[in-house]
Amino acid sequence: MRQDLAKMVYDDIGFEDITTCALIPPGLNVKGRVMAKESGIIAGVGLAVDIFAEFGVETDLMVMDGEKIDNGQIIMEIFGDPRNILSVERTALNLLMRMSGIATVTRNIIEKVHSVNPNVLVAGTRKTTPGLQFFEKNAIRSGGGDTHRYRLDDSVLIKDNHLALVGGVDEAISRARKYISFTKKIEIEVESLEEAMLAVRAGADIVMLDNMEPAEVKHVIEFLKKENLRDNAIIEVSGGINSDNIIQYANTGADVISTGYITHSARSLDLSLDLDNIHQ
């Protein structure tokens, strides 16, 4: 992972940071700090430390991932060669800001959901930025959310296009069960009460009710209870869920709410890096 972070910086620098090399002589040391310019939840501090360390910059953390920060609060202090600091500044800040934005949205969503249902999990989806999915998923965790799948090999998730090619819920779950290890769960995406019943009876571990209105979700869950099948599978809801309607889904009785909103619609948290006190 440290090599991946270093590559991000080198990709940004190219052959050299010509501005810094032109203006700043070698052999200096400088002290500085990363500061919050708005309140939120911090995430990615460990990655920022790794980036700075790769380029010989020392860090002293004031907060840890998942902690609430206020406008003006110092996130970390840094000390080292200003040529190195300025060269890695943008990459380190971009990751910190992106991850903190996701963590902040996640925490806000969870607080809203838990005000009506403290037992439901809020999870991310794989609607992440290619190449950044590991970092964005970890930001969800820092915000208190569930990461869901990091990659396709984490678990089976049978979606509508799989079903269209295989021919049905029973056959899809049967093929998956024969193929995978007992250590992997099988989740299936369904769009109707009939498919949900088939999925539970076929032994799916998780049934995702996709793009259903809250009233439909309640109906499915009540019917499963009536048939004594409610406890046979985890019930997840997903599709079109955002900050405006998530309370309605939290009141359905579902176990998990998964939403891409916390990644694809998160705004980066505003942070800055300031330098001072040059020492010869």
**Rounded distance, CA 173 to CA 152, Å?**
16
Distances, alpha carbon 92 to alpha carbons 27, 39, 101, 128, 271, in Å: 22, 19, 14, 19, 11
- The encoded tokens of residue 52 equal 């700075």
With CA atoms as reference, report the closest residue to 196 among 183, 184, 211. Answer: 211
Catalytic residue among 7, 68, 112, 127: 127
Q: Is 226 a catalytic residue?
A: no
Alpha helices for 115-235 (secondary structure H): 133-142, 160-166, 169-179, 193-201, 214-226
With CA atoms as reference, report the closest residue to 106 among 260, 211, 251. Answer: 260
Tell me if residue 206 falls in helix, strand or coil: strand
Cβ–Cβ < 8 Å for 191, 211: yes
Taking CB atoms within 8 Å and a gap of at least 24, the contacts of 150-159 are 154/184, 155/184, 155/185, 155/186, 155/187, 156/180, 156/184, 156/185, 156/186, 156/187, 157/187, 157/188, 157/189, 157/208, 158/186, 158/187, 158/188, 158/189, 159/189
Catalytic residues: 127
